[in-house]
């Protein structure tokens, strides 16, 4: 019998092209996603060196960060955004790369469209010039974000030089309570470990909570791995994974599917395999979460008060600065805080299950008058599903509008900016100063918490509506 091996090592070792003594491994990349922000300079680099793209059929382009979320049929107004989008289109055409640009029926946020079209598969290595590439780890892939110079490296050689990260496992057993979603699980883990607690590690999530989670939930969790500093996160593929993938456009079919399944079934951590560090939590300890500070680790159970400086790992000075920016004080209740905006969307929570969850609370209620709500599907496929399932009718009835797909207010690279000083309950992944627009104040939470805030106008425990 072979040495017990982790899922991570199995996938990693299968992709090492060459080992460099005391150096990084040369590592083969199965799938490379590109978007308009981090690819133009990489293509310029290729141009400068007079070389092309090695495997254009392993490279996939979609426009998401700079795209408007209304009137997508009109020319993009902002010249900077228009230029980025144009470059992605031109570069893709020039190198024969599949390009889902603005208005394309498969267009959407890169980390939403990859999985939903079956491009992301178990056991793969996947990179993108984007930190939330960790999302794809939900399928048992090694997926991580890279910088623009590495994008150029992958375009030209389909390889990358990577030192092997250390291994961490987070295990959560038990059953999640009412109103506790995958987003709460990930915000809880990050609050326990802090926003830097997993730096240098690749994290496997294990235990009943993840085994019982849908693929969309697993994507939410893996997506946020980067927010605790991890290089990426992954979950062993199982029947849930295979059922999700079966029949997706670019997933293997027929005999190839059977062959793939046989391999995918080997992709789990063996009994007795060891990790550099392990953490274990109980599902019963997790309640709906919300952040009150300016990094994703500054979050807590929604029914709790804002912690005292002495209770947080971040250091007193930075904690106080963070609360100052948010206009909050130690030991205040978060419930009842008035809010101005609600953002449902992003690669963390812009999938169909997130819209179903949101709709389950706003159904039969009305949007609060003081709230501006931006509901932004992660892709056109999600948008179509929202309409097909009658969710749009529920939203419209409750006084909400649906926007068109893209990253939107997650990072406000388009026109969707939260104004200075305003509070947004947001289903996205980052709450840094100015992340959603200069001076904006972000409270990260689940779609259920966002919905409860949207109908009451204040931070509200969603469990009272369930």
Ligand X SMILES: CC(C)[C@H](C(=O)O)[C@@H](O)C(=O)O
Contact positions vs ligand X (CB under 6 A): 37-38, 65, 130-132, 145, 411
Cβ-contact 69, 416 below 8 angstroms: yes
Angle at alpha carbon of residue 348, lines to 196 and 455, rounded to 5°: 115
State the Cα–Cα distance between residues 161 and 460, nearest whole angstrom: 47
Distance CA 367, CA 308 (A): 33
Cβ proximity to ligand SF4, 295 vs 456, nearer residue: 295
6 vs 38 by CB, closer to ligand X: 38
Question: Site map for ligand SF4, 101-130, x if CB under 6 A?
Answer: --------x-x------------------x
Out of ligand SF4, ligand X, none, what residue 62 binds, judged by CB under 5 to 8 A for its kind, is none
User: Which entry of ligand SF4, ligand X, none binds 209, CB below 5 to 8 A by partner kind?
Assistant: none
For residue 159, the SS3 value is strand
Nearer of residues 241 and 440 to ligand X, judged by Cβ: 440
> In this chain, which residue has its C-beta nearest to ligand X?
131
**Of 154-162, 244-252, 254-262, 405-413, which part binds ligand SF4 (CB under 6 A)?**
405-413
Residue 407 interacts with ligand SF4 (CB under 6 A)? yes
Taking CB under 6 A as the criterion, which residues in 297-326 touch ligand SF4? none
Among the listed residues 347, 394, 424, 450, the single contact to ligand SF4 using CB under 6 A: 347
Q: Hey, CA dihedral for 37, 38, 41, 46, is it positive or negative?
A: negative
- Contact at 8 Å (CB) between 231 and 133? no
Choose which of 69, 194, 220, 429 interacts with ligand SF4 (CB under 6 A).
429
Q: Which of 33/328 has CB closer to ligand X?
A: 33
Q: Is the dihedral of CA 35, 36, 37, 41 positive or negative?
A: positive
Nearest approach, Cβ of residue 200 and ligand X (Å)? 18
Mark residues 126-145: x for contact with ligand SF4 by CB under 6 A, - for none: ----x-x-------------
Among candidate residues 33, 70, 37, the one with its CA nearest the CA of residue 406? 70
Q: Residue 145 binds what, of ligand X, ligand SF4, none (CB under 5 to 8 Å, by partner type)?
A: ligand X
DSSP 33-92: EE-TTTSHHHHHHHHHHT---S-GGGEEEE--TT--SS-TTSPP-SHHHHHHHHHHHHHH
Residues in contact with ligand SF4, counted by CB under 6 A, come to a total of 13
Q: Which does 302 bind (CB under 5 to 8 A by kind): ligand SF4, ligand X, none?
A: none
If one asks whether residue 410 binds ligand SF4 (CB under 6 A), the answer comes out as yes
Distance in angstroms (rounded) separating the CA atoms of residues 400 and 381: 20
Q: 64, 189 in Cβ contact below 8 A?
A: no
Is residue 17 within 8 Å of 159, Cβ to Cβ?
yes
Q: Which does 428 bind (CB under 5 to 8 A by kind): ligand SF4, ligand X, none?
A: ligand SF4
Interface positions, 46-105, toward ligand SF4 (CB under 6 A):
64-65
| Residues forming beta bridges with residue 452, ordered by sequence position | none
Strand partners, 57: none
Let me know: does 186 contact 217? Beta carbons within 8 Å: no
Q: What's the min distance (Å) between Cβ of 347 and ligand X? A: 8
- Report the sign of the C-alpha dihedral through residues 254, 233, 202, 434, in that order: positive
In this chain, which of 346, 349, 427, 456 binds ligand SF4, going by CB under 6 A? 346
User: Smallest distance from the beta carbon of 73 to ligand SF4, in angstroms?
Assistant: 22
Q: What are the residues binding ligand SF4 (CB under 6 A)?
A: 64-65, 109, 111, 130, 132, 346-347, 407, 410-411, 428-429
């Amino acid at each position: 019998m072979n040495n017990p091996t982790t899922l991570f090592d199995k996938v990693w070792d299968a992709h090492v092209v060459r080992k460099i003594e005391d150096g990084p491994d040369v590592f083969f990349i199965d799938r490379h996603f590109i978007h308009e922000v981090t690819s133009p300079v990489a293509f310029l680099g290729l141009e400068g060196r007079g070389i092309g793209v090695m495997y254009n059929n392993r490279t996939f382009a979609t426009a998401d960060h700079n795209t408007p979320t209304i009137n997508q049929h009109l020319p993009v107004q902002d010249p900077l955004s228009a230029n980025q989008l144009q470059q992605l289109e031109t570069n893709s055409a020039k190198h024969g790369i599949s390009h889902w640009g603005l208005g394309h029926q498969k267009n959407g946020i890169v980390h939403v469209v990859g999985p939903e079209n079956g491009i992301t598969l178990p056991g793969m290595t996947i990179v993108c010039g984007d930190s939330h590439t960790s999302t794809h780890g939900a399928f048992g892939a090694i997926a991580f974000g890279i910088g623009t110079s590495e994008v150029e490296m992958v375009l030209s050689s389909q390889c990358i030089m990577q030192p092997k990260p250390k291994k961490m496992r987070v295990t959560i057993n038990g059953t999640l309570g009412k109103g506790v979603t995958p987003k709460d699980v990930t915000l809880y883990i990050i609050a326990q470990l802090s926003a830097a607690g997993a730096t240098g590690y690749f994290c496997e999530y294990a235990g009943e909570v993840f085994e019982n989670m849908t693929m969309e939930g697993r994507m939410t969790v893996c997506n946020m791995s980067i927010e605790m500093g991890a290089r990426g996160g992954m979950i062993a593929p199982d029947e849930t994974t295979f059922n999700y993938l079966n029949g997706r456009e670019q997933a293997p079919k027929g005999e190839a599917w059977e062959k793939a399944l046989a391999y995918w079934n080997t992709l789990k951590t063996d009994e007795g395999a060891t990790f550099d560090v392990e953490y274990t939590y109980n599902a019963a300890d997790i309640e709906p979460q919300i952040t009150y500070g300016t990094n994703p680790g500054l979050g807590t159970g929604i029914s709790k008060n804002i912690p005292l400086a002495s209770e947080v790992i971040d250091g007193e000075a930075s904690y106080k600065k963070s609360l100052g920016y948010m206009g909050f004080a130690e030991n205040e209740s978060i419930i009842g805080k008035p809010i101005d905006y609600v953002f449902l969307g992003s690669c963390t929570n812009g999938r169909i299950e997130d819209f179903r969850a949101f709709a389950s609370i706003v159904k039969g209620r009305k949007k609060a008058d003081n709230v501006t709500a931006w509901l932004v599907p992660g892709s056109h496929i999600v948008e179509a599903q929202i309409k097909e399932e009658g969710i749009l009718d529920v939203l419209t009835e409750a006084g909400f509008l649906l926007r068109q797909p893209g990253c939107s207010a997650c990072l406000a690279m388009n026109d969707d900016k939260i104004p200075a000083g305003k509070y947004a309950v947001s289903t996205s992944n980052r709450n840094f100063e100015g992340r959603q627009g200069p001076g904006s104040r972000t409270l990260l939470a689940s779609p259920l918490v966002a919905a409860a805030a949207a109908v009451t106008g204040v931070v509200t425990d969603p469990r009272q509506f369930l």
